[in-house]
Structure 1
Amino acid sequence: MCSHYQTLKDAELLLQKFGVRRKPAAVGKYDMWPRYEGLFVRRPPEHDAGDEAVPDREACVGRWGLISAMTRADGLDKAGKLSTFNARAETAPASFTFGNAWRRAQHCIVPADAIFEPDWRSGRAVATRFARADGEPMGIAGLWDRYRDAAGQWRDTYTMLTINADNDPVFRHYHQAGHEKRMVVILAEGAYGEWLNADASRSREFLVPFPSERLVATPAQPPSSPAPIQPAGSPP
């Protein structure tokens, strides 16, 4: 699972690489941890209404850790404590948490300069930074949803999709021995538009490994522990 990534330092890349017309007023923290407010790209919910003023893509800021729109108000506290920053592609369609977003094909792309995974081959966890070898940003496949908080306001949330990596030439070496190896889905740049517009019946077509030779892994110690976070439904 990916529980730490770095978003874009250069917000101009949203326009250049991810086809967004306007940058958001805020982009959140650079070093992202679960439940932080982070950046993601989606097709606007109003896109299918036929309004030409609605762009094909928009950049949003939401909670990294999806909370389903199906979550009742009395379940928000429990939902906010769950580890929903990654979604297993194999089980997401039938999951209460991710099923609504999957069925509605609420696809998103999470822009990232790099992701971090632990290397346990030395007997201890060594944080390893993965970035594209060409220096370009990653576009990670995800799902988004929104829930109504205690004040009645809608809040956007998102998650990264993961697939099995037991046979991947790179990611099979990460995470603890005896645990299933997982990897996030890094999309090919040419697939961004298709992913955002694909219906649910096509979702699995995009969930494939990124070519390992196009990634660079660098051992690096992560920054200090993430700051305390607010529970779901709390004011920002």
Structure 2
Amino acid sequence: MSAIYIPATASQLQRHFNVAPADFSIGQEVAPGDMAPMIRMPHPGAEPGERACAQAMFGIVPHWAEMKITSQTFSVRSEAPEGKPVFRNAFKRGRFCLIPAECFYEASYEHGARKVRYEVAHADGSPMALAGLWEFRPATEEAGALLSMAMFTINADSHPLMRRFGRPGDEKRMPVLVDAARYDEWLHCPLEEAAAFLRQYPADRLIARPSPKARRKQGQPSLPFI
């Protein structure tokens, strides 16, 4: 499963997700360790419809871990979200978020020895909302406070589209996507109801097309105080 996606633009955040984007630059592609937009409840007890955009690192970084851990913590297995200590605190606290994206990338090995990059997007062209989990790292003497996030993934061995990506023989996985009508349900979701969201997304609502790798303009790498 790919670890790179294109974040939603500032205008998409306002028009589609109904949030005012914070004052930070948004990179053209996001990979683990980059800073990118995240949508969550603005405060505990917020009402449905109240959403806030924040800047977060792609890849959860708990207070006890080093920043380089993001290469291993950008995705949470939906089958066992509490399986790793790095995700346990955020999941138990119900820190659910949306990761706004235009598309995400996958590798196809159906072209012989040459790997081909594909972008996967909504068939209707609308932005995507990846189901995510967020964590807070308090400020230290060495660095400012940090928000970080990870996307939920689900097995895709039986998915008509997503099973075609990834190395032959490897387990196929895909991000969990949230329907626009259910954004607030996910952000306010009780733990015991979270499993209902962690499902494969319908293949007929997705489109995949070749997307040659371009020179990457990464997300803002700084660690802002929040």
Shift of 1:227: 6.1
Runs of at least 5 residues in structure 1 that lack an aligned partner in the other structure: none
* Letter aligned with residue 198 of structure 1: C
Tell me how far apart the structure 1 counterparts of residues 101 and 217 of structure 2 sit (CA, whole Å): 18
**How many equivalent pairs are there?**
223
- C-alpha contact (below 8 Å) 2:108/2:166 kept by paired residues: yes
Task: Output the amino acid matched with 1:64.
Answer: F
The separation in 2 between residues aligned to 1:197 and 1:173, in whole angstroms, is 33
What aligned pairs does 1:31-70 form with structure 2 within 5 A after superposition? 31-44=29-42, 46-48=43-45, 56-68=50-62
Q: Deviations over 1:196-235 (max 9, x none)?
A: 00011111110111111111111111223676996x9799
AA aligned opposite 2:161:
V
C-alpha contact 1:27 1:39 (8 A) present in aligned 2: no
Residue 12 of structure 2 is matched in structure 1 by 13
Residues 37 and 56 of structure 2 are in contact (CA less than 8 Å); yes or no, is this contact kept in structure 1? yes
| Counterpart for residue 111 of structure 1 | 100
> CA 1:92 to 1:172, structure 2 compared with 1: closer, same or farther past 3 Å?
same
**2:183 equivalent in structure 1:** 192
Which stretch shows the higher mean deviation, 163-172 or 97-106? Answer: 97-106
Match of 1:183 among 174, 190, 193: 174
The CA RMSD over aligned residues, in Å, is: 2.5
Taking the aligned partners of 1:210 and 1:66, their CA distance within structure 2 comes to 24
CA spacing shift, 1:24–1:105, aligned 2, 3 Å:
same
Task: Select the structure that is richer in helix.
Answer: 1
Looking at structure 2, the residues matched to 39 and 228 of structure 1 have their Cα atoms a distance apart, in angstroms, of 10
Cα deviation digits, residues 140-198 of structure 1 (max 9, x gap): 10000011354363200001110000000000010001100000011111111100000
Q: Which residue of 2 aligns with 1:131?
A: 121
The residue number in structure 2 matching 1:143 is 133
Show structure 2 runs of 5+ residues with no match: none
Letter aligned with residue 172 of structure 2:
K
Q: Percent identity?
A: 28
Instruction: State the shift of 1:94 in Å.
Output: 2.5
- Counterpart residue type for residue 206 of structure 1: F
- Show CA shifts across 1:4-43 (max 9, x none): 111123x1222322132x2211142121111110011001
TM-score of the superposed pair, with normalisation by structure 1: 0.85
**2:207 matched to 1:216?**
yes
Higher RCO structure (Cα 8 Å, ≥6 apart): 2
Map of 1:205 onto structure 2 = 196
Secondary structure of 1:204's aligned partner: helix
Equivalent in the alignment of 1:97: 86
Q: Does 1:30 align with 2:25?
A: no
Q: Report if aligned partners of 2:60, 2:135 keep a CA contact under 8 Å in 1.
A: yes
Tell me the equivalent position of 1:162: 153
